Amino acid sequence: MIYAFICTRSKELTDTAHNLSTYLSDAGVKVKFLVNQKSIFGGYQKALDSSDVKDDDIVILCHDDIEIMSSKWVFRDCLMQCLAHDAGFIGVAGTAKLLEDAVWWNGQAWREGHHSGIVWHGPHALESTPTYYGPYKTVVVMDGLFLAASGKTLRKVGLAKPSYLEGEWDYYDIHYTLTAHKLGLKNRTVPINVLHNSRGELAGRESWHVNRAKFIEEHRLPITAS
């Protein structure tokens, strides 16, 4: 079984979210929207606890403002084939080296060839441009716009907010994927084409900076994929 947990802070779903739900459902995914949430950590943990997710099931954690442009069958096959027994998370963009600033898209690491994956940006597929980070490969951390893992991996990692973070919506993706990496699981970027309606403007909010500072205090950086 494949599940998708999609967490929002709003009460109403956008047209993009409805279209995403239709796409996922047509691909055989059981979709669960978590609307009007106070915490993305708490929303994801609550969804996992309240769903009958088996260890071998696949769980997608993604934003509500994305469009998946891969064909449904290519998308489903990629999920099934890429989540091998040693897999942590799979996603569409990330880096094999997280530098001291804990910003995964850091320009220096990008120029050095550590980044991986591709994300399309725009209001819809006909008006979108790609951001190419680098070849698909094993990475340390990934962006949370689209992640997937087995139920077993999610339970190993734990989706609740760690005590060292303060904000309820920031750095969940970096925390989850780095935890999987430290557990010896392989995080990998994969060729699923995702269009993101946002360019990450929320990275400028104060809560993002607070959680980034807490993350830096907690972890010894840089960290590089082996």
DSSP states of 45-104: HHHHHHS---TTSEEEEE-SSEEE-S-HHHHHHHHHHH--TTEEEEESEEESEE-TT--T
Please give the pLDDT value at position 190.
97
CA angle 67, 97, 145 (to 5 degrees): 15
Please give the pLDDT value at position 201.
52
Please give the pLDDT value at position 126.
79
Q: Where are the alpha helices (DSSP H) in 165-218?
A: 172-182, 206-218
- The amino acid occupying position 28 is G
- State the Cα–Cα distance between residues 60 and 69, nearest whole angstrom: 16
Please give the pLDDT value at position 114.
98
Please give the pLDDT value at position 202.
53
Structure tokens at 175: 């925390």
Domain locations in the chain as residue ranges = 2-224
Q: Give residue 204's region: left, alpha or beta (phi > 0; psi -120 to 50).
A: alpha
Pick from 203, 72, 86, 93: which is nearest to 146 by CA?
93
Interhelix angle 40-50/172-182, nearest 10 degrees: 60
CB 5 within 8 A of CB 48: yes
Please give the pLDDT value at position 176.
98
CA angle 77, 90, 121 (to 5 degrees): 90
Q: What is the assigned CATH class of domain 2-224? A: alpha beta
Q: Give the pLDDT of the chain (226 residues) as one tens digit per residue.
A: 999 999 998 889 999 999 999 999 999 999 999 999 999 999 999 999 999 999 999 999 999 999 999 999 999 999 999 997 788 999 999 999 999 999 999 999 999 999 999 999 988 877 889 999 999 999 999 999 999 999 999 999 999 999 999 999 999 999 999 999 999 999 999 999 999 987 555 555 788 999 999 999 999 999 999 7
Structure tokens at 54: 């088996």
CA-based end-to-end distance of the chain: 31
Pick from 158, 152, 171, 153: which is nearest to 210 by CA?
171
